[in-house]
Chains A and B, each alone.
Chain A
Amino acid sequence: MAEQILLRPGNRSSRRLPAGGPQPPARGRRFAVSVRRNLAGYGFMVGAVLCFALFSWYPMIREFVMSFQGTHRDPVTRLPTTTWVGWRNYTRIWHDPTFAAAWKNTVEFSLLALLIGFAVPFVVAIVLNELRHARGYLRVLVYLPVMLPPASALLLFQYFYDPNTGLFDHLLRLMHLPTSQFVQSSGSAMVSVVIASTWMNMGGTTLIYLAALQNIPGELYEAAELDGAGILGRIRHVTIPQTRLILSMMLMLQIVGTMQLFIEPFILTNGGAGPGNSTISVVNLIYQYAFNLSGSSNYNSASALGVLLMLVLGVFSALYLWISRDREN
């Protein structure tokens, strides 16, 4: 190949300038040429870099700084001054009784979402892939909930879950089955949140799985069938190995996504805490510190909790990047 030829040692020498010929351009000139050649590229980059700097890096640094600051209020004038408070904000959130509940709920939601929200779209995608008829219509049906604004979808579920006038309990009564308190009971609140969330979000994931499934060469399935594999055998020996990378990436992304649980409990449990603090998530707690309570010291607490969440998500994000890199290689 041309590139290989150019890189051969013998050819490299042919690129040298003849002795006594013009001197190589000075370093400054080379730099100027390089800048001129890439000017358009740098121009395009400026906007992105500025945006990231202003809306991403600066707030992150600021958040980190604020997590170590607090407010001292003059007892007479009540005017505040900002002071360094060391780990006080971290100590404060650690002692908040909802801190442990928020992390427990967030992890519980992530696990339930993995059990239900990770498996269901995969199974649905396999079913859709196996179907011979009406596949397009069904695909639209599965994707439709994603098109609903999340707040609308959750308000719909809030009505479905209402134990007084809701649809689900009404249906259960019609079928002479025991009713449920859904989001009104600490025992069922989180599962109810996961179900609503799965319904809302599975469309997109299903389509990605479906695309991955359709990229699997048909010959592999034919070979498996010839070897006597049934549908479960085909899934085990062909589908899962062939979609392993997509599955791993989706898993990482889903962990990162589910740990940022916010709007579902915020709407379904009218503010996010839920019975016995059973649905409050870490991001709900950050919101409460920052917007539901008064005083800038709570902004500092929100920052401290934000830093902790960022660190945890950073681990999963790094895993995601590692898996992505593995795939490229």
Chain B
Amino acid sequence: MKSSTQRPAARTAAAVVLIAGLGLSAAACSSSKSGAKDAAAPAGGDGPVTISVPCEPPTSQAGQRKEWLADVATFEKANPNITIKGIDTYPCEDTATFTAQMRAGTEPDVFHTYFTDLNQVLDAGQAADITSYVNDTTVPGFSDLAPSALAAVTAGKTLYGLPTGIYTQGLIINRKLFKQAGLDPDHPPTTWADVEKDAKAITALGNGIYGYGDYSAGNNGGWHFSSEVDANGGQMINQDGTKAAFNAQPATEVLQALHQMRFVDDSMSPTQQLKWGDLQKQMAAGKLGMYIASPDDLYNVIVPQDGGNVDDYGVGPLPSTSGTPAGSLSGGDDVMFNKHDTPAQIRAGIKWIAFSMLTPGQGQFNYARTKADGLPVGFPEPLDWVGATSEKNEALKAASATVNTAYYKTFVDAHEKGMGEPVDAQAVYKTLDATMLSVLNDPNADIPGLLKTAESQVNTLLANAG
């Protein structure tokens, strides 16, 4: 209940205003005014310029933070006219905060977005057109950037951002628990039948340990469902983006496997409604055997933030009925430039991103330094480039690798085909959250019925989208 003392009339009015206020800053759904600016620096070079930039690692990631600050110092020394002002957040982007920033126009000069955010940024009219600023000189290796990643930051012929990280998902396993359960951690399960068998064996260890975990809240359940369906040979939405296509055998098999593990094998925890962040903690605490994620969960969250031991983990391909994943939902991170940036700020921002996030051997790819700092090196992602730049990056990584790359071999060998996110992705994920949750907390869940309902709901969403 809500007492009147806590919600007097003024508070009620304030709450109504808050709801009403959703509209306040969204007035300008107008066309982007961020036309191309003068890309060429003046003859005498740019004067002093300050840029605010995203993704400064928080204090909880002490090692990465130290390296990031060192990069800032090196960069500022080499570019005395540029001052870097870091924004300390992790993850780099929180959906609700990002939406509010877009509406209010309060994002940093250089701001982080996910591949799925481009429409939202364009709707808010917040991104600068950087097409004329970017080439192989300003961003070395630009021509080798993965085409699918560049497509995610391009609208028509206009480039709005630079991709900084690309991922596909795999099956993260706890090698220590695999060994304790008498399983072979060098050969993670590849079929759902094997996942069920291994999860059961791991759960038998007792002590609150569960073999498998999955999400079912915060749109993350639908997100994982999509990846699992992709891997199992299914498709979320049809080619022209008008109808749900997931109500078929691949999705049924995935949900049956989850329901089997949750209610027949009891190899999933009774605590469900989990979302991003929950399974990482369980994995770091040694209470979870397997869950699906991209490998960056290991080096960004489980090891540095949640205190897991890097040697305890490995990654296999996404499970599927056949044992060969047909694909994986792929996504990634990128940066964009505030439409209010001056040309000098855009040039400075591109220079910083190229230095710190997009050059093999420098910044986030300075593997020798990462190794010297005692941080793990050798994870199979991100996969930003193709061609010569990719080869150069992989060679540098291999030369300094500290993690046992064999732990990720089956994932790398699977060469999962990256599949983009469905149309109106978050709305679709929201709908599928409910399906996942029903499967994971209703012992009598009617899987065909749930899929049929979700299909109808997604069709309705798509029909009324826009």
Contact = CB atoms under 8 A, between A and B. Distances in A.
Interface of A: 55-56, 58-60, 62-63, 65-67, 69-74, 76-82, 88, 91-92, 95-98, 113-114, 116-118, 120-121, 146, 162-165, 181, 183-186, 194, 197-198, 201-205, 207-208, 249-250, 253-254, 256-258, 260-261, 269-271, 273-277, 283, 286-288, 290-299, 302-303, 306, 309-310, 313, 317, 320
Interface of B: 1-9, 12-13, 15-17, 19-24, 26-27, 29-32, 95-96, 99-100, 103, 116-120, 122-124, 155-156, 158, 208, 217-219, 269-275, 278, 424-427, 430-431, 433-434, 437-438, 441-442, 453, 456-457, 460-461, 463-466
Contact of B6 (A80, A204, A271, A298): A204
A65 B118 CA distance: 25
B3 A269 contact: no
A296 B2 contact: no
B20 A80 contact: no
- Specify the main secondary structure of chain A where it touches its partner: helix
A286 B19 contact: yes
Contacts of A197: 1-2
10 contacts: A73-B466, A79-B31, A184-B273, A250-B3, A276-B434, A290-B22, A293-B424, A293-B426, A313-B16, A317-B9
Given A291-B99, A313-B16, 17 more contacts: A59-B23, A73-B466, A77-B158, A79-B31, A80-B122, A201-B2, A253-B7, A269-B273, A271-B433, A273-B217, A273-B433, A273-B437, A295-B424, A296-B123, A297-B465, A306-B19, A310-B20
Contacts of B5: 146, 204-205, 207-208
Nearest to B8: A253
A218 to B, nearest CB: 25
B283 to A, nearest CB: 16
Given A184-B273, A291-B100, A271 B218 contact: yes
A257 B217 contact: no
A77 B123 CA distance: 12
Going nearest first, the 10 A-B pairs with the smallest beta carbon separation are: A117-B1, A204-B5, A257-B2, A205-B3, A257-B7, A253-B4, A113-B1, A63-B23, A78-B155, A270-B217
A59 B1 contact: no
Contact of A62 (B16, B27, B460): B27
B22 A302 contact: yes
Given A80-B122, A92-B464, A165-B208, A254 B270 contact: no
Contact of A254 (B2, B99, B122): B2
Contacts of B23: 59, 62-63, 65-67, 299, 303, 306
A125 to B, nearest CB: 11
A165 B23 CA distance: 42
A197 B278 CA distance: 24
Contacts of B456: 97
A146 B6 contact: yes
B17 A59 contact: yes
Contacts of B118: 78
A283 B19 contact: yes
B123 A295 contact: yes
Contacts of A296: 26, 29, 120, 123-124
Residue of A65, A260, A313 with most partner-chain B CB within 10 A: A260
Contacts of B155: 76-79
Contact of B4 (A59, A73, A91, A208): A208
Contact of A163 (B21, B124, B270, B437): B270
